[in-house]
Amino acid sequence: MSGTAVSGKGPRKPRVSLFVTCLVDLMRPSVGFAAVKLLEDAGCVVDVPVQTCCGQPAFNSGDRGTARDLAEQVITAFRGYDYVVAPSGSCAGTIKVHYPEIFADDPNWLPKANELAARTYELTSFLVDVMGVASVDARYDGAVTYHDSCSGLRELKVKAQPRKLLATVDGLTLVEMTDSDVCCGFGGTFAVKYSDISGAIVDAKVKNIDATHAPTLLAGDLGCLMNMAGKLSRDGRPVAVRHVAEVLAGMTDEPPIGETKED
């Protein structure tokens, strides 16, 4: 399906369903609102269907039964839209890459999984690669550094897209950190099962963040951001942590992740 289909009344706006993600819904709703603004500014009609978890934690833990049940709910909830967009490389990657794996031996559900996978995108990738967005109308004063989340980078090839959009934000300077494409140590349930290893990985990550002297850290996955924000806070490093969508949308009134209005 195409967002530029021609009807009798002219080009039709793409109908986009926003996959909010569990963490955004529960921990950082401002990311969802920022995603809606960016999509609408790009010329999309946005809907937010009733939804549940994509099933990634269950899938990564080997609980294929629960992952399958959740995947069936997502496939059903997101039928009929031109595109499905998530402000998360990990959730979008689960739908786009792993749903076809979950249903590989099911001739009834596999076509549905493949169809959904074909129209599912991470937010910045969708804006740049599908909608052709070349710039955003936003301002953010100061230097930022950017962390490439594993799933978005490796499963969906999301790397240049957020940087292309950030380059158009007035007042913003991007300072690349060493090993921006190396894991932050979160990995969902990995951080719980292997906390010592996770701690060592995030320790190396925050040292690279600190070395940039950028007062703001951005990324496209809330799980990674919460993990890094927690470590930065515990170490007493005064770095503001935000989802890239908030900056691109010019919606930075909320305190940085892990902070309150009183901080």
pLDDT per residue over 169-203, tens digit each?
999 999 999 999 999 999 877 877 888 999 999 99
Look at residues 112, 129, 146 and tell me which one is the last residue of a structural domain: 129
**Number of domains comprising the chain:** 2
> Is 55 part of a structural domain of the chain?
yes
Look at residues 129, 150, 176 and tell me which one is the last residue of a structural domain: 129
Distance between CA atoms of residues 19 and 116, nearest Å: 12
Query: Has residue 10 got a pLDDT over 70?
Result: no
Residue span of the structural domain in which 16 resides: 12-129
> Is 58 part of a structural domain of the chain?
yes
> Is 263 part of a structural domain of the chain?
no
CB within 8 A of 85, min separation 6: which ones? 16, 17, 18, 19, 35, 39, 92, 120, 121, 122, 123, 126
pLDDT per residue over 227-261, tens digit each?
999 999 999 999 999 999 999 999 999 999 998 87
> Is 7 part of a structural domain of the chain?
no
Residues 136-149, buried b or exposed e (16+ Cβ, 10 A)?
bebebeeebbbbbb
pLDDT per residue over 16-58, tens digit each?
999 999 999 999 999 999 999 999 999 999 999 999 999 999 9
> Is 166 part of a structural domain of the chain?
yes
- The predicted model scores a pTM of 0.93
